[in-house]
């Protein structure tokens, strides 16, 4: 043991640590030197309680020095070097290096400054000499921390000379309460430092005891239900036995040390330091609590430093009150079969913490509590619960549910609505899902409180997780990094999830009808991607990639149909303007496209891509399919995209790579490239505009589309304003208009939840106009309802088609109000009305559905978007309800109202979703309809009598006239190319029944019309009178007319030309 002696002098005070090994000189030489110094001083000294370097005990408690009036402090650094094994210590050869000492203000300490220099000749090592810079009231304890060139803490003790003594046990063992056990025959008291000498044993068995500090070099036993209270340090280099009922209490209002080379096994350990968490008990040696023991935290912070450990084995919950805490600072902490309830501080800076060895053992932070993870590692067999209070995660690794034995009523990582959460770094691993129920969630982060995640990683599973385990995640807060880490593990979303940075997939991410939002700055998705491995199974959910500029992103999509079908899509934006909240949506469907009616050669897979809040987007697409998706002959397939009315083939196929691609696409629902000359069979049994997408289709001819007006050629469709030129041969057009959808309402930044109401859907109107070829009609497509951040949505525009033959228009829906305001109303005044937008309450409300061509659009609500009206071209769906902390969702064309924005957690103000644009379809059906008086197409006339003219209106793209067949001689047909009227006229010169046919020429073949002309000959009359030869007046008889013809009437007149019968 190193001893020290100190004395005060007027000019210099030297404190020398005396050791024949370290100082390299006999002890009497040092004492002579001190004696000379002492001769210059007549003042008494105050005892210094302890002197430490970097929290390491380097002197016995008997060190004396004077801090009141101190002018110089000198001690050899070589002592520190030996005690600390050379760590962070100035080498002996180092000279003239500054060392600064600074005491914490709360300890009312003196601040000193000094330099390193060589010891006087004949002495080994290096000394440090300090000089007082600031003098304050004498503080209590003396502690020096630090190293050369760094700040150091100094504290001192103000007790008077002789008030504290080191009391050491004699060489003979004995009872604590026996004076003979102690040198000087003095039983230790509360102010005494106690040392159990090596080779001796002391027993505390007849009452409680209190000491200032406790040093065990021998043996100390507590026998019975007695308490040893220690207000200072505990140094155990010997043996300590607490028995099954003994208690050690660390008390006092000064920092203390629990150290030593021997393991200290407590039964009941009470920490009651000071009256707040600011007073420390620092553990630098091995400490444990025996089975059945108990750790009781009342006041103060237990700090477990490097080289220290605390293992607790108790059967009841450990409670950390608001005035206490545990700080793992490089050491080791282990709990056994109990949970921890924290209302104070649980902090891990470095080291290892192992929590719980039985099912359901958890660490829960309650009101006022703080959980702080800065480094090191912590694992729990149960849950990490932040029920209230605050959790700050900045580093280290937390492993939760190590054996799948979390509490089933809580998530493995469970953060309640009232709790605060701040994650800037570190890793949270959910090692295994809870094994006892499908409803259990492994991560649950609720709305409310002050929550922020700007760094760190959540990992689902690890190398220890069995394949096929299903994790469940429910977080209203965006993650920074997120990883499905267990190979072939499954993660199922219970709510929309946002990942702002790195998404890693080694297993399947099942969206479960929810949406995955990937941040705008997120890099490419990493992991073991592919069949039965890492992929996103969207189902009815959406993968949304937020975009703020041009760029490329790969969506690793797949689906599960008895196996994992991996069918990724790479989307590359080459142009466009990206507004706040802009994103791209990609979905995959494991079925034939509903508009592909071919039955022999097709692909059993199709994709959809939509953009939201992107103006004038231009992008390239590459999609990969599985070989099993091909039905029929793959060489007969080509890329095609459906534009809402027909297929457009403008891409390419690579059979070797099982991929299809297209470049320069603006909108997969429209045709901006050449139209396929022989489109495939098309059905209209499901929505066409919302159900847009590309798929492989066969190069097979098929009949044209049909409308209620008959066979028609490809219609003209408009998604932007322009003009329509009536084609040759077209004399009637069917104009269909959809108004634009109103924009959704925005929301403002607020500590409370704010949401926008949905915009109204656009109306539908239609009419048939009589036109003349080459006439021009102006087409104005109703604009999308605009949006602004924290503002009301704009009204959807009115769609109009106007020209010489008349005007057809459909009104747009109105915009939804911001911040839980009024709904947007659906457009009216046409044949069918748009649906009203939803009223925002707790979510961003859904937009109203656009009207269809056979039904009204449906209203949106706070929980659902309005469905589009029914029809062969249905109305667009309103923007979906926004549950996340995001801008509103866009309405779907045609005419869907935009959804409202949603904000919670005091984040940025947001805009609603823009309404969908209007839409125009101008079709020119092939018509061949009777325009003359009804019945003229079924005439009965006499031969050589002029026929009443029969007229037909012909119309259709490219009609040049018509041919007439089956008519009687003398009857012909003629076509007026100015108005499309075909006229049948003439004088029949032959009798009989004539069924005629009018067949248009040039186009619309098959649109024929038939009629009948019955031509009677002139009659040749012969009379035969029945009955008697003479007929008296007032009687009657039958007269038979021979050679009568249908359609001829006969009368019998007398000589005066009076009708006497018929």
Neighbours of 549 (CB within 10 A): 10
Which of 407-411, 652-656, 691-695 has maximum average pLDDT?
652-656
Q: Is the pLDDT of residue 704 over 90?
A: no
Q: Is the pLDDT of residue 686 over 60?
A: no
d(CA 299, CA 251): 9
Instruction: Tell me the C-alpha to C-alpha distance, in Å, between residue 726 and each of 758, 765, 773, 839.
Output: 38, 20, 5, 44
- Where b means 16+ CB within 10 Å and e means fewer, 93-127 reads eeeebebbbbbeeebebbbbebbbeebeeebebbb
Q: How many separate helices (H) and strands (E) can be counted in the chain?
A: 2, 83
Q: Enter the CATH code of domain 927-1016.
A: 2.60.40.10
Instruction: Tell me the C-alpha to C-alpha distance, in Å, between residue 534 and each of 293, 531, 565, 756.
Output: 48, 8, 11, 36
Q: Is the pLDDT of residue 1057 over 80?
A: no
What pLDDT does 1024 receive? 64
Lowest mean pLDDT among 54-58, 301-305, 342-346: 54-58
d(CA 947, CA 630): 62
Using an 8 Å Cβ cutoff, are 502 and 481 in contact?
yes
Instruction: For residue 487, report the phi and psi dihedrals to the nearest 5 degrees.
Output: -65, 130
Pair of tokens at residue 530: 């592919």
* pLDDT digits 0-9 by tens, 13-23: 333 332 222 22
- Could you tell me which residues come within 8 angstroms of residue 854 by beta carbon, excluding any fewer than 6 positions away? 832, 869, 870, 871, 872
Q: Is the pLDDT of residue 140 over 70?
A: no
Pair of tokens at residue 1012: 């009948």
Using an 8 Å Cβ cutoff, are 849 and 875 in contact?
yes
For the chain, percent of residues with pLDDT exceeding 70: 74
Neighbours of 405 (CB within 10 A): 21
d(CA 486, CA 499): 18
Instruction: Tell me the C-alpha to C-alpha distance, in Å, between residue 801 and each of 357, 619, 722, 770, 812.
Output: 75, 30, 10, 13, 14
Q: Report the candidate in 586, 598, 599, 565 with the shortest Cα–Cα distance to residue 665.
A: 586
- Could you tell me which residues come within 8 angstroms of residue 391 by beta carbon, excluding any fewer than 6 positions away? 365, 370, 371, 372, 373, 415, 419, 420, 421, 422, 423
Instruction: For residue 826, report the phi and psi dihedrals to the nearest 5 degrees.
Output: -70, 150
- Could you tell me which residues come within 8 angstroms of residue 475 by beta carbon, excluding any fewer than 6 positions away? 443, 444, 445, 495, 497
Q: Is the pLDDT of residue 489 over 70?
A: yes
> Mean of the pLDDT values across residues 959-981?
90
What pLDDT does 914 receive? 95
What pLDDT does 716 receive? 85
Q: Mark residue 37 as left, alpha or beta (left: phi above 0; alpha: psi -120 to 50; beta: remaining).
A: alpha
Helix H or strand E segment including 355: strand 345-355
Local confidence band at 700 (pLDDT 50, 70, 90 cut-offs): very low
pTM: predicted TM-score of the whole model, two decimal places: 0.56
What sign for the dihedral angle of Cα 861, 864, 869, 873?
Answer: positive
Pair of tokens at residue 888: 């509103």
Domain regions of the chain by residue span: 202-336, 547-679, 716-925, 927-1016
Instruction: For residue 107, report the phi and psi dihedrals to the nearest 5 degrees.
Output: -95, 5
Local confidence band at 357 (pLDDT 50, 70, 90 cut-offs): low
Sheet holding 1009-1016, edge to edge: 938-942, 1009-1016, 992-1001, 961-965
Using an 8 Å Cβ cutoff, are 495 and 883 in contact?
yes
**Looking at 404-502, which runs of residues are DSSP E strands?**
413-415, 420-430, 443-445, 451-453, 457-460, 470-475, 481-484, 490-493, 497-499
What sign for the dihedral angle of Cα 138, 142, 143, 144?
Answer: positive
d(CA 381, CA 200): 43
Q: Report the candidate in 786, 852, 780 with the shortest Cα–Cα distance to residue 815.
A: 786
Lowest mean pLDDT among 226-230, 709-713, 964-968: 709-713
Distance between the two ends of the chain, CA-based, in angstroms? Answer: 155
Residue with the two structure tokens 């769906």: 877
């Amino acid at each position: 043991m190193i001893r020290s002696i100190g004395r005060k002098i007027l000019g210099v005070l030297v404190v020398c640590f005396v050791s024949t090994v370290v100082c390299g000189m006999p002890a009497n030489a040092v004492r002579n030197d001190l004696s000379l110094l002492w001769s210059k001083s007549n003042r008494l000294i105050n005892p210094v309680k302890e002197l430490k370097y970097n929290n390491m005990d380097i002197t016995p408690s008997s060190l004396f020095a004077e801090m009141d009036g101190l002018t110089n402090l000198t001690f050899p650094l070589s002592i520190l070097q030996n005690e600390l094994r050379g760590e962070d210590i100035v080498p002996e050869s180092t000279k003239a290096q500054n060392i600064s000492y600074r005491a914490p203000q709360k300890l009312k300490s003196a601040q000193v400054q000094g330099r390193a220099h060589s010891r006087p000749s004949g002495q080994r090592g290096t000394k440090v000499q300090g000089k007082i810079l600031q003098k304050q009231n004498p503080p209590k304890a003396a502690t020096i921390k630090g190293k050369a060139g760094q700040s150091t803490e100094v504290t001192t003790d103000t007790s008077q000379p002789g008030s504290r003594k080191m009391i050491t046990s004699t060489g003979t063992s004995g009872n604590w309460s026996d004076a003979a056990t102690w040198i000087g025959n003095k039983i230790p008291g509360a102010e005494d430092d106690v040392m159990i000498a090596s080779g001796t044993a002391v027993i505390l068995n007849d009452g409680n005891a209190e000491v200032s500090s406790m040093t065990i070099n021998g043996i100390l036993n507590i026998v019975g239900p007695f308490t040893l209270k220690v207000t200072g340090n505990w140094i155990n280099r010997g043996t300590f036995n607490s028995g099954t009922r003994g208690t050690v209490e660390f008390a006092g209002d000064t920092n203390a040390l629990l150290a030593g080379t021997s393991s200290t096994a407590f039964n009941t350990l009470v920490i009651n330091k000071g009256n707040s968490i600011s007073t420390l008990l620092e553990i630098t040696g091995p400490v444990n609590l025996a089975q059945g023991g108990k750790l009781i935290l009342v006041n103060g912070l237990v700090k477990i430093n490097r080289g220290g450990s605390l293992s607790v084995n108790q059967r009841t919950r450990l409670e950390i009150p608001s005035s206490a805490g545990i700080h793992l600072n490089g050491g080791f902490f282990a709990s056994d079969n109990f949970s921890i309830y924290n209302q104070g501080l649980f902090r891990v800076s470095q080291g290892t913490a192992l929590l719980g060895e039985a099912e359901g053992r958890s660490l829960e932070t309650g009101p006022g509590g703080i959980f702080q993870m800065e480094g090191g590692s912590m694992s729990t067999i149960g849950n990490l619960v932040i029920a209230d209070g605050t959790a700050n995660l900045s580093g280290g690794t937390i492993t939760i549910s190590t054996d799948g034995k979390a509490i089933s009523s809580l998530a493995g990582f469970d953060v309640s609505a009232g709790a605060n959460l701040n994650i800037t770094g570190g890793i949270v691993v959910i090692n295994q899902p809870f094994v006892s129920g499908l409803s259990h969630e492994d991560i649950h982060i609720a709305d409310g409180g002050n929550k922020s995640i700007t760094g760190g990683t959540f990992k689902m599973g690890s190398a220890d997780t069995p394949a096929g385990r299903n994790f469940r995640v429910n977080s209203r807060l965006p993650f920074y990094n997120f990883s499905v880490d267990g190979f072939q593990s499954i993660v199922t979303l219970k709510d929309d999830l946002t990942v702002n940075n790195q998404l890693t997939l080694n297993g399947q991410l099942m969206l479960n009808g929810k949406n995955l939002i990937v941040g705008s700055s997120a890099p490419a998705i990493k992991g073991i991607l592919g069949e039965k491995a890492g992929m996103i199974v969207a189902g009815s959910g959406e993968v949304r990639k937020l975009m703020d500029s041009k760029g490329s992103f790969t969506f690793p999509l797949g689906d599960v149909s008895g196996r994992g079908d991996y069918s990724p899509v790479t989307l590359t934006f080459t142009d466009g303007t990206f507004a706040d909240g802009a994103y791209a949506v990609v979905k995959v469907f494991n079925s034939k496209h509903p508009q592909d009616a071919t039955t022999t050669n097709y692909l059993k897979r199709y994709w959809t891509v939509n953009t939201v809040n992107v103006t004038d987007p231009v992008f390239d697409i590459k999609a990969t399919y599985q070989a099993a998706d091909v039905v029929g002959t793959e060489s007969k397939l080509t890329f095609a995209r459906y534009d809402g009315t027909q297929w457009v083939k403008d891409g390419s196929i690579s059979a070797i790579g099982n991929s299809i691609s297209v470049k320069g696409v603006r909108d997969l629902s429209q045709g901006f490239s050449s139209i396929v000359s022989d489109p495939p069979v098309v059905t209209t049994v499901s929505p066409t505009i919302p159900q847009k997408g590309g798929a492989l289709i066969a190069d097979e001819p098929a009949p044209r589309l049909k409308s209620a007006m008959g066979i028609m050629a490809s219609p003209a469709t408009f998604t932007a304003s322009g003009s329509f030129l009536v084609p040759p041969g077209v004399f009637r057009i069917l104009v269909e208009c959809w108004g634009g959808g109103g924009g959704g309402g925005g929301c403002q930044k607020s500590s409370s939840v704010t949401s926008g109401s949905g915009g109204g859907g656009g109306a539908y109107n239609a009419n048939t106009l009589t036109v003349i070829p080459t006439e021009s009609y102006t087409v104005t497509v109703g604009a999308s309802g605009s949006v602004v951040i924290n503002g009301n949505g704009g009204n959807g525009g009115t769609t109009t088609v106007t020209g010489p033959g008349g005007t057809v228009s459909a009104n747009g829906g109105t915009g939804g109000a911001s911040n839980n305001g009024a709904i947007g109303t659906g457009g009216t005044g046409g044949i069918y009305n748009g649906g009203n937008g939803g009223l925002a309450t707790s979510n961003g409300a859904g937009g109203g559905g656009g009207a269809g061509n056979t039904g009204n659009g449906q209203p949106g609500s706070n929980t659902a978007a309005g469905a589009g009206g029914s029809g062969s071209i249905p109305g667009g769906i309103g923007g979906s309800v926004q549950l996340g902390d995001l801008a509103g969702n866009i309405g779907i064309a045609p005419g869907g109202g935009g959804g409202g924005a949603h904000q919670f957690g005091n984040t940025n103000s947001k805009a609603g979703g823009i309404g969908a644009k209007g839409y125009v379809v101008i079709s020119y059906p092939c018509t061949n309809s009777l325009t003359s008086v009804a019945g003229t197409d079924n005439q009965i006339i006499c031969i050589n009598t002029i026929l009443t003219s029969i007229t037909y209106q012909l119309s259709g793209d490219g009609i040049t006239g018509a041919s007439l067949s089956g008519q009687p001689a003398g009857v012909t047909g003629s076509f007026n190319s100015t108005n499309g009227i075909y006229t049948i006229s003439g004088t029949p010169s032959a009798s009989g029944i004539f069924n005629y046919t009018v067949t248009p020429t040039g186009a619309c073949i098959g649109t024929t019309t038939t009629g009948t002309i019955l031509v009677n000959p002139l009659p040749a009359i012969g009379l035969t009178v029945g009955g008697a030869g003479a007929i008296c007046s007032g009687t009657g008889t039958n007269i038979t007319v021979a050679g009568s013809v249908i359609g001829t009437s006969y009368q019998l007149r007398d000589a005066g030309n009076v009708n006497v019968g018929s």
